Amino acid sequence: MLQINANARRNDYDDSLRQILNIHAADESRAWLSAWDGLNAGPTPLWDLPDLASRLGVGSIRVKDEGHRSPLGSFKALGAPIALMRLIKRLFQGHDLDAAKLIDRHYTTLLRNLTVISATDGNHGRALAAAARSIGCRCVIVLHKHVNDERRLAIAALGAEIVQIEGNYDESVKEAARLAKKNAWHVVSDTSYDGYETIPRDVMQGYGTIAAEAIEQNDGRPYTHVFIQGGVGGLAAGVISYFAERDGEQRPRFIIVEPDQAECLYQSALRGHAAHATGSVDSVMAGLACGETSPLAWRFLSVLADAFMTVSDKTAIEAMRILAAGSTRDIPVVAGESGAAGLAGLIQATGDAKERVALALDEHSHVLLLNTEGATAPALYRQLTSLRAEDVLHAQLQWQGAQATTVILGSAASNAAVLSAAGG
Catalytic residue among 76, 190, 202, 260: 76
Q: Same topology for domains 2-74+207-399 and 80-189, yes or no?
A: yes
Q: Report, as an integer, the average pLDDT of 384-399.
A: 96
pLDDT at residue 411 is higher than 80: no
Question: What pLDDT is stored for residue 148 in this prediction?
Answer: 82
Please tell me which residue, 124 or 56, carries the higher pLDDT value: 56
Question: What pLDDT is stored for residue 192 in this prediction?
Answer: 87
Q: Which amino acid is it at 252?
A: P
Question: What pLDDT is stored for residue 27 in this prediction?
Answer: 96
Q: Report, as an integer, the average pLDDT of 239-254.
A: 96
Pairing outcome for strands 115-120 and 60-65? unpaired
- Kindly give, in sequence order, each residue whose CB lies less than 8 Å from that of residue 163, ignoring residues fewer than 6 positions away: 140, 141, 142, 143, 175, 179
DSSP code per residue over 109-149: TTTTT-EEEEEESSHHHHHHHHHHHHHT-EEEEEEETTS-H
Q: How many CB atoms lie within 10 A of CB 329?
A: 14
Q: Residues 148-163: pLDDT tens digits?
A: 888 899 999 999 999 9
Q: Residues 21-69: pLDDT tens digits?
A: 999 999 999 999 998 999 999 999 999 999 999 999 999 999 999 999 9
Q: Report, as an integer, the average pLDDT of 106-129.
A: 92
Catalytic residue among 37, 51, 96, 121: 121
pLDDT at residue 419 is higher than 70: no
Q: Coil, strand or helix: which one is 229?
A: strand
Question: What pLDDT is stored for residue 409 in this prediction?
Answer: 45
Q: Report, as an integer, the average pLDDT of 283-290.
A: 91
Q: Report, as an integer, the average pLDDT of 110-128.
A: 92
Q: Give the residue from 237, 117, 136 showing the smallest Cα distance to 186.
A: 117
- For the chain, domain boundaries: 2-74+207-399, 80-189
Q: How far apart are CA 193 and CA 222, in angstroms?
A: 35
- Does residue 314 carry a catalytic annotation? no
324 pairs with which residues across the strands? none
- Assign domain 2-74+207-399 one CATH number from 1.10.10.10, 3.40.50.2300, 3.40.50.10860, 3.40.50.1100: 3.40.50.1100
The mean predicted confidence, pLDDT, of the chain is 92
Cβ proximity of 144 and 166 under 8 Å: yes
pLDDT at residue 414 is higher than 70: no
- Does residue 219 carry a catalytic annotation? no
Q: Report, as an integer, the average pLDDT of 333-349.
A: 97
Cα dist. 265→176, 187, 300 in Å? 23, 23, 12
Question: What pLDDT is stored for residue 406 in this prediction?
Answer: 62
CATH fold, domain 80-189, is Rossmann fold (3.40.50)
pLDDT at residue 396 is higher than 70: yes
Overall pTM surpassing 0.85 (yes/no): yes
- By mean pLDDT, which of 196-205, 367-376, 398-407, 415-424 is the weakest? 415-424
190-196: Cβ within 8 A, 24+ apart: 190/76, 190/79, 190/80, 190/83, 190/118, 190/124, 190/232, 190/234, 190/294, 191/232, 191/234, 191/290, 191/292, 191/294, 191/297, 192/294, 192/295, 192/296, 192/297, 193/292, 193/294, 193/295, 194/295
Cβ proximity of 201 and 189 under 8 Å: no
